[in-house]
Amino acid sequence: MKRILVLLLIAVFAAIGLAAQDQPAGGEKEKKVSAAKLERWSGGILRMDTEGSTLTVRRKGSIEKIIHYSSATAWTKKAGGAADPSTLKEGDRLVCFGKTEGGKFVATKIIVQTPK
């Protein structure tokens, strides 16, 4: 009798475990959040092209990336408040958030870090 109960319990737990594997953890909301996740790039401004709306930003070492921005890009200061992109100069530190579209990194938000 005890053996039958033990086997029955094992079968029930196995069925519950198989049913739980079929459902994704976090459901559909987690998939949407990860799809909306932005890429991050930070470093110092190496070159600026205001006509082309691009910044070349170099990370520590020699890795460079061209950051594309537009009028929709949000500019903020690390300390808070809005930043003015016209006041940027080479060597300023930035943290850029955006997505790669067609091989170009397009920034949606840029945080300007003031020098110490």
The answer, yes or no, to whether residue 33 has pLDDT greater than 60, is: no
**52: domain CATH number?**
2.40.50.320
Q: 93 and 70 in one domain?
A: yes
pTM above 0.85? no
Q: 16 and 52 in one domain?
A: no
Q: What confidence score (pLDDT) does residue 30 get?
A: 47
Cβ-in-10-Å burial (0-12, 13-18, 19+) of 67 comes to: buried
Q: How many domains does the chain have?
A: 2
Residue type, 88: L
Task: Please write the tens of the pLDDT for every residue from 6-17.
Answer: 777 787 777 776
Residue 24's pLDDT band (cuts 50, 70, 90): low
Q: 30 and 43 in one domain?
A: no
Q: What confidence score (pLDDT) does residue 19 get?
A: 67
86-108 as b/e, with b when 16 or more CB fall inside 10 Å? Answer: eebeeebbbbbbbeeeeeebbbe
Q: 63 and 26 in one domain?
A: no
Task: Please write the tens of the pLDDT for every residue from 83-105.
Answer: 888 889 999 999 999 999 899 99
Q: 84 and 50 in one domain?
A: yes
The answer, yes or no, to whether residue 73 has pLDDT greater than 90, is: yes
Q: 105 and 60 in one domain?
A: yes
Q: What confidence score (pLDDT) does residue 35 get?
A: 46
Q: Which domain holds residue 69?
A: 39-113
Higher per-residue confidence, 33 vs 20: 20
Cite the DSSP H helix spans in 66-114. Answer: none
Average pLDDT, the chain: 83
